[in-house]
Amino acid sequence: MRPSAHSRYWRTFAYASCLLLLGCGNTHTAPAPGPSAATSRVPSDARPLHPRDGGAALRIPGLGPATQAQIGPETQQALVVTGESGANTATAALYTREHAAGWHRTAGPWRARNAVRGWTGAHRVGDLRTPIGVFRIGDAGGLLPNPGTRLPYDQDEEFDEPGVGYYGESLAGSFDHVVAIDYNRRSGFSPLDKVRPLGLEKGGGVWIHVDHGGPTKGCIALPRPQLSQLLRQLDPRRRPVIVMGPATELRR
């Protein structure tokens, strides 16, 4: 299926052969000026949990008050991906917040992979580390048709990736389905969009994609069945975010 005119409008430039250069996607255009150049990090407008809030259900397990406070009050879904500080393997689980019962796990835990050199709180282009933080996840796409997600989905042949990974494994199929992580990108656009609001030096193209059997350049990878399940469960009305980083950082 060819991409629609609307999906082509989303992106500035797209080069399929370069998708992995900066994280999982490349950057070819200057940052957009004005309001659209604002950072894509989820606003830290949620107040820290008050002691009287009590039960563990009011805080996602493994998250400390500072990390939890970065999840806005409008967010009701959070994918938590965490592991050891220097490791490139991790665990992922999806949590949902119900007003009466608080947060509870609705999927996972799943095995996951992150960047070959682990994590960083100051991501730079080419550092081969996955950014630490809380980021919106609201746009999806892939080489294959929509597997049933309610997120905006851009099917495009430019998600094809014929290269090899760090273990010599084939990357074919890695981008059959992806979810864009709003690190240094514009929300509301295809994952293929190349505008980098924080500047080219900050990298970009950080996605959740299909596990190819080895570490990534900056992305999060999940096994194909689990990624398909995640796509079907994510609900844009619940303002989903990803919370990712080493366990020691997320406990703060």
Q: What is the pLDDT along the chain (252 residues), one digit of tens a residue?
A: 434 433 433 443 333 333 334 456 443 333 333 333 333 333 333 333 333 333 346 889 999 999 999 999 999 999 999 999 899 999 999 999 987 779 999 999 999 999 999 999 999 999 999 999 999 999 999 999 999 999 999 999 999 999 999 999 999 999 999 999 999 999 999 999 999 999 999 999 999 999 999 999 999 999 999 999 999 999 999 999 999 999 999 999
Contact assessment for residue 184 and residue 25, using Cβ atoms and an 8 Å cutoff: no
**5/152 Cα distance (integer angstroms):** 14
Tell which residue, 170, 196, 229, 244, has the closest CA to residue 40: 196
Please give the residue range of the domain that contains residue 112: 5-250
**145/170 Cα distance (integer angstroms):** 21
For residue 131, the SS3 value is: strand
Long-range Cβ contact pairs of 146-151 (< 8 A, separation 24 or more): 147/177, 147/228, 147/231, 147/232, 148/228, 148/231, 148/232, 149/231, 149/232, 149/234, 150/234, 150/235, 150/236, 151/179, 151/231, 151/234, 151/236
Contact assessment for residue 211 and residue 219, using Cβ atoms and an 8 Å cutoff: no
Q: How many domains does the chain have?
A: 1
Q: How many residues in total does the chain contain?
A: 252
pLDDT at residue 58, rounded to an integer: 84
> Which tokens in the block code for residue 183?
């690190």
**Residue 111 class from Cβ within 10 Å (0-12 exposed, 13-18 middle, 19+ buried)?**
middle
Phi/psi of residue 230, each to 5°? -60, -45
pLDDT at residue 160, rounded to an integer: 96
